[in-house]
Amino acid sequence: MDYLAGLNPSQRAAVEQTEGPVMIVAGAGSGKTRVITYRVAHLIQKGVDPFRILVLTFTNKAAKEMRERIMKVVGGEAKNIWMGTFHSVFARILRVEAELIGYPRNFTIYDTDDSKSLLRTILKELNLDDKLYNVNHVFGRISAAKNNLISPQEYNKNDALLAEDRENGRSMLGQIYMTYAQRCYRAGAMDFDDLLFKTNVLLNKYPETLYKYQQQFRYLMVDEYQDTNFSQYLIVKRLAAVNENICVVGDDAQSIYAFRGANIQNILNFQKDYPDVKVFKLEQNYRSTKTIVKAANSIIANNKNQLEKNVFSDNEDGEKIKVARAFSDNEEGKIIAEEIVQEKSLKSLKYKDFAILYRTNAQSRAMEESLRKLGVPYKIYGGTSFYQRKEIKDLIAYFRLTYNPNDEEALKRVINYPRRGIGDTTVEKIIVAADQKQVRLWDVVANAQLFLDGRSAAAVAGFALMIQSFQAMGNSHNAFDTAMHIAQHSGILKNLYEDKSVEGLSRYENIQELLNGIKEFSEREDIEEHSLDVFLQDVALLTNDDNDKNPDADTVSLMTIHSSKGLEFPHVFIVGLEENLFPSQLSLNSRSDLEEERRLFYVAVTRAEKKLHLSYATSRYRWGTLNNCEPSRFLDELNPACLELDFKSRMPVQEEQGFGTERIAWQQKDMFSKPKPKVRKTTSILPKAHTPSAGFAPSDTSGLAVGMEVEHERFGYGEVVELEGNKQDIKATILFKELGQKQLLLKFAKLRIVQ
């Protein structure tokens, strides 16, 4: 029982309360992971069979770290715990039970790119305008429906949803959703949202299957419960209904994923769901200085909708939080890069001790340029994942097709790569034949001589024979041997090897790296099956933070605040603290949205261990135009005793009393004291007056939608970024290429919709 000795009283009480419903409200830096892992270890030490324990996380990385910690306490038994992300655990269950809901056990898991590719095909077949039916919007709409457990059939019977689609000029969304679901089913594929949606279908439609897993999972633990959506909430509630040995861990103050469907009410209402719940609050922050914790508390205190807690720290007071002001985003980057170089030198730090956090990805540009100029190495998190690179997806498509020949997205991707004489015309004939005969694409491919003529039939038949040979190989060999065989005999290795360009060499090396990873997988001792299809499932369920190949690299970390959740750094810079940027302009329409933005700021602040730097610019360029910026309201909400105003020569020498009541004075100082930016002699900063296109005539804007390109007689061309208001007084926010963002009433705007 020595492992309990290192816990504080609140942590220990939470670990030892193993029976009944438990809610652990874990403040930032309060040792949440330690409590979860020790609680699982404690269950096993008490004699609970690890096969009876289910632990759900939001990243594979978190699950891996927890399992390793548990192994240090209980040894090899930790391997038997059902632990992983929601998607990985329920994909595992669906592999066993898929046939009950009409899917093959070897179903393919479509990633976002696969889903969007299929949607583009459907939009093209339905002759729909891909600007009006923007694929990202369509994908998001379908995802939201699934996360709210609305099937295609229910969607198309829901008058409110259909009316909303009609009002937005997208009356075909219900048909698109239906067709998309049918195509996925025909291809034996599920997308990420299906893994949860279909699990709900399974548990709801088959009571005996639900009972089976209720008996298997006697103890449930859910990490980051504040981030669960309705679909996840319902699965957990069903599984815990019999034994009610459910423990949820989370912090409502760190609920920042509403845009993904996360529902903060799940954690706020947990006590209503389980009236006899035992609540434990982990309020001691072990990560940050007292100054940082005090500042974070002053921020989150402005939110009304929250669970009460008093986070404190026994660490040192630490340095005050630096607030820097720049007259432009480029100068902001310069100030931060210089500060990093200086701090590193004076305090003998490493570059990896520093992180720069921003609200939007676009803000990284100014930071990157300034870091490069000073020779500071950096890494951007959340960029293109290794497994999203084209050459990797190409080879993995061959793997997928080997185990599920009905996977139509994989089939279309590689049927003529490398080139084998199967052009677009032949592929179109295959699709048409499949639709006419109501069969799958593979049925046509595997029987090419019945559907196609001449050389195209021979080429397609040869492709089918090759895939069948891969299937035979996969049935009798491990993942690496099968993968190497496919890479060689598909022609991909040869094709990339013959490309001697720098890019070609890089792509060839990436394939080698993939094969190296499969080799390591094939030699793992902690898993029973080493076949390629098992490897494919692991790859399909990777989350972004699982792709960091070298976490020990000495580089400054750049990332959005959303990407930073769960991480910590000695020195943190939060940049772009300006109204309409942070908080985002899109969050200013409701209290709930604004409170989510404030929680996002709270998350950013609590990533810092030793020192926190905040900065804002008084102007930013947008579309070549310099726009004035106002300091973020979040700066007003910080406890002024925690702040050090670092305005250098840009601020006149006078008493600085903080933000809050001094806002007008601060803005006046900004207005009169900031250096005026130099105006270059170029047309990009001083745009010419717009000349309307020939025959300019205003369009009927009743069907105007976000993402459309429009022309204004005076303001020129722009993109619609937001629509709000009722039918008579709809207000459009338009980002004009020459003049920046403007808001216009549609009934007066006289816009021409650009086709």
Catalytic residue among 18, 33, 175, 667: 33
Alpha helices in 98-133 (DSSP H): 112-125
Q: Respond yes or no on whether the N-terminal peptide bond of residue 275 is cis (omega within 30° of 0).
A: no
Which token pair is 656? 């600085």
- Under a CB-based contact definition with an 8 Å cutoff, are residues 456 and 426 in contact? yes
DSSP summary character for residue 578:
B
223 is catalytic: yes
- Under a CB-based contact definition with an 8 Å cutoff, are residues 280 and 22 in contact? yes
Query: Using CA atoms, how far apart are residues 555 and 502, in angstroms rounded to an integer?
Result: 24
607 is catalytic: yes
Query: Using CA atoms, how far apart are residues 356 and 569, in angstroms rounded to an integer?
Result: 10
Catalytic residue among 223, 332, 339, 711: 223
Catalytic residue among 224, 252, 329, 533: 224
- Mention every residue, 6+ apart, whose C-beta is less than 8 A from residue 357: 559, 560, 561, 564, 572, 573, 574, 575, 604, 607
Catalytic residue among 254, 284, 291, 606: 254
Which one-letter amino acid corresponds to residue 40?
A: V
Query: Using CA atoms, how far apart are residues 647 and 670, in angstroms rounded to an integer?
Result: 10
Please report, in angstroms and rounded to a whole number, the separation of the first and last CA atoms in the chain. 71
Phi-psi sector, 131: left (phi>0), alpha (psi -120 to 50), beta: alpha
Query: Using CA atoms, how far apart are residues 309 and 24, in angstroms rounded to an integer?
Result: 12
254 is catalytic: yes
32 is catalytic: yes
Query: Using CA atoms, how far apart are residues 644 and 317, in angstroms rounded to an integer?
Result: 14
Q: Quick count: other Cβ atoms within 10 Å of Cβ 500?
A: 8
Q: Compute the chain's Rg from CA coordinates.
A: 28
Phi, psi (rounded to 5 degrees) for 451 = -115, -20
Catalytic residue among 141, 287, 599, 607: 607
Which token pair is 740? 């920046």
153 is catalytic: no
Select from 621, 586, 646 the least CA-distant residue to 335.
646
- Under a CB-based contact definition with an 8 Å cutoff, are residues 619 and 677 in contact? yes
Counting other chains too, the contacts that 33-37 makes at CB distance below 8 Å and 24 or more residues apart are 33/62, 33/65, 33/66, 33/69, 34/7, 34/69, 35/7, 35/11, 35/249, 35/282, 36/66, 36/221, 36/223, 36/249, 37/66, 37/69, 37/70, 37/73
Query: Using CA atoms, how far apart are residues 41 and 327, in angstroms rounded to an integer?
Result: 54
Query: Residue 631 pairs with which residues in a beta bridge?
Result: 578
What residues are annotated to the active site?
Answer: 32-33, 223-224, 254, 607
